[in-house]
Amino acid sequence: MKRESPHKLVILSFTQGTLFWTASGTAMGFIPLLAVTLHLSAQEAGLFVAGAAIGRVAFQPYTGLIITADNAERYYLIGLGCAIVSSVILVCGQHPGWLITARLMEGVGLSLFVVSWRTLLNRMSQLHFFEAVNDSYVVSQNIGRTLGPAIGGIVVAGYGIQAAFLFSALLYTLCFLLAHCHRSRYHSHSPTREPKTQRWRYLCGIFQRQKVLFVIHHIEFFCLGLWLAGWPVYAVIANGITTEQLGYSFSLAALGGLGLFVIKPWTSRLSVRHRLALALALLAIQPLAAMNLSQWSLQFGLLIAVGGLGGALYFTSFHRLLSDTVSVDNIPLTYGVLGSSTFLSQAAGQASAPMLSQAFSAQAPIVLDAALLSACLIMALVVPIARHNIR
């Protein structure tokens, strides 16, 4: 494989990540509104809104079996192609069958993108600058998730809901062209592929060795689901926060992730395990601040941003721990399975939030979120987390 300079790989990772996640975020908030605008039935609307999640959960484990270090670039481009076609169908389509198919295709494209891009990141990164490439990608996610909804709102206000999907298609196309132009940089020759049964045994061994890390990771995604579903209800209905302020809270959380580079000189002195623990502590600040919320304030906004910084630090630490314990050839299967299982954990959290709100109070999901994150923090500090450098 041809090695590029760390600086070029950081820029490439950042640019492609920003384009993809901005495209994804531009239209995401308008999917339920599109279902209403097109007068879909309740069943059709449910399948339409959940289509991407269904496609990802069903398909992502399979992507781990078909993607290797050799063909990751090809499936990366196929994933972007699926995203482009899906967005175009949502711009032009009217029939419910086509719309639902487009959402399922979006989930398949996201699965291919996540697994193949993670494979490429690990394959093209030498150990001594892996963190720089990894950090740039995580920060690009935060930027994309900040810019996307803002751009989407402007586009929809000026041109209508379906214009947001057209803009997403354009950004996906730019990402596709950039990846195609730089495809030679990813070319590699990996060893002979292991039999599927052997790969599954290897994966089971990884899960056994890293069970503490994976338990924390799935609880964190459950907490993410609690927050995404519980925070809007608690903020707007129980505390009278305006919808504009609610939007600010999500934007501030995404912006907080950009502080990762600011604290990098200090966090680089910590072990990866202690970085993970610090990230969980910062994440817990979000629900703890929300529990004591009486009205919107600058102080509360800053605490939300600190929680967003914790999220960015958490994912960079998790991916570093995983990359140090999983061989490059087994990265696709590992991320394929993890993608589905963590997505299900998040969905469970989102499903639990309204039930907790109805059974107890609107604050219940927030309280449980804080309690579980605190438990994860204690677990990260007390229980050893395996780390075997395989590079």
Write down all domains in the chain, each with its CATH number in brackets. 6-190 (1.20.1250.20), 199-382 (1.20.1250.20)
pLDDT of residue 3: 52
What integer is the mean pLDDT of 170-177?
93
The pLDDT of residue 4 is above 60: no
pLDDT of residue 318: 85
pLDDT of residue 88: 93
pLDDT of residue 29: 66
Our measurement of the distance from residue 240's CA atom to the centroid of its chain's CA atoms, rounded to an integer in Å, reads: 29
For residue 11, give the amino acid letter.
I
Nearest to 106 by CA among 82, 139, 74, 123: 82
pLDDT of residue 138: 76
pLDDT of residue 389: 47
The number of CA neighbours under 13 Å toward the Cβ of 183 is 14
Euclidean distance between CA atoms 214 and 224, whole angstroms? 15
pLDDT of residue 186: 44
The rounded mean pLDDT for the chain is 80
Confidence of residue 189 (pLDDT cuts 50, 70, 90): very low
From 244-248, 346-350, 371-375, the region with the lowest mean pLDDT: 244-248
Whole-model pTM?
Answer: 0.72
Q: Which residue has the higher pLDDT, 322 or 388?
A: 322
Euclidean distance between CA atoms 316 and 298, whole angstroms? 27
User: Among residues of the chain, what percentage have pLDDT more than 70?
Assistant: 86
| Residue 340 neighbours by CB under 8 Å, 6+ apart | 56, 57, 58, 60, 61
pLDDT of residue 202: 63
What integer is the mean pLDDT of 242-268?
79
Tokens of 23: 């495209």
Contact between 72 and 123 (Cβ < 8 Å): yes
The pLDDT of residue 390 is above 50: no
Q: Which residue has the higher pLDDT, 153 or 84?
A: 84
Euclidean distance between CA atoms 83 and 106, whole angstroms? 5
Contact between 72 and 120 (Cβ < 8 Å): yes
Q: Which residue has the higher pLDDT, 366 or 265?
A: 366
Per-residue model confidence as pLDDT tens digits over 41-59: 777 877 777 777 778 888 8
Tokens of 183: 């495809």
Highest mean pLDDT among 15-24, 249-258, 290-299: 15-24
Per-residue model confidence as pLDDT tens digits over 105-144: 988 888 888 888 878 877 665 556 667 777 777 778 878 8
What integer is the mean pLDDT of 185-204?
56
